Amino acid sequence: MNNINYPEQFNKHIKRVIISKEEIDAKIQEVGKQISDSYDGRPILLVSILKGAFVFMADLCRAISVPCEIGFMCAKSYYSGTVSSGAVKITMDLEQDISKYHVIIVEDIIDTGRTLNDVVKLLKARNPLSLRVITLLDKPSRRLVEFKADISLFTIPDYFVIGYGLDCAEQYRNLPYIAEYQEQE
CB of 172 within 8 A of CB of 17?
no
User: What mean pLDDT do residues 163-180 have?
Assistant: 94
Active site residues: 111
Within a 10 A sphere around the Cβ of 31, how many other Cβ atoms?
A: 19
Confidence (pTM) = 0.88
Q: Where are the alpha helices (DSSP H) in the chain?
A: 8-11, 21-39, 54-63, 114-124
Q: What are phi and psi of 56, to 5 degrees?
A: -60, -45
CA atoms within 13 A on the CB side of 153: 26
CB of 28 within 8 A of CB of 134?
no
Within a 10 A sphere around the Cβ of 108, how many other Cβ atoms?
A: 25
pLDDT in tens, 74-128: 877 654 555 555 566 788 999 889 999 999 999 999 988 888 898 999 999 999 9
Q: Of 79, 76, 74, which is closest to residue 49 (Cα–Cα)?
A: 74
pLDDT in tens, 32-59: 999 999 999 999 999 998 888 999 999 9
Model confidence band, residue 61 (pLDDT cutoffs 50, 70, 90): very high
What's the CATH number for 23-179? 3.40.50.2020
Give SS3 for 53. coil
Q: What is the Rg, in whole angstroms, of the alpha carbon atoms belonging to the chain?
A: 16
**What residue ranges do the domains of the chain occupy?**
23-179
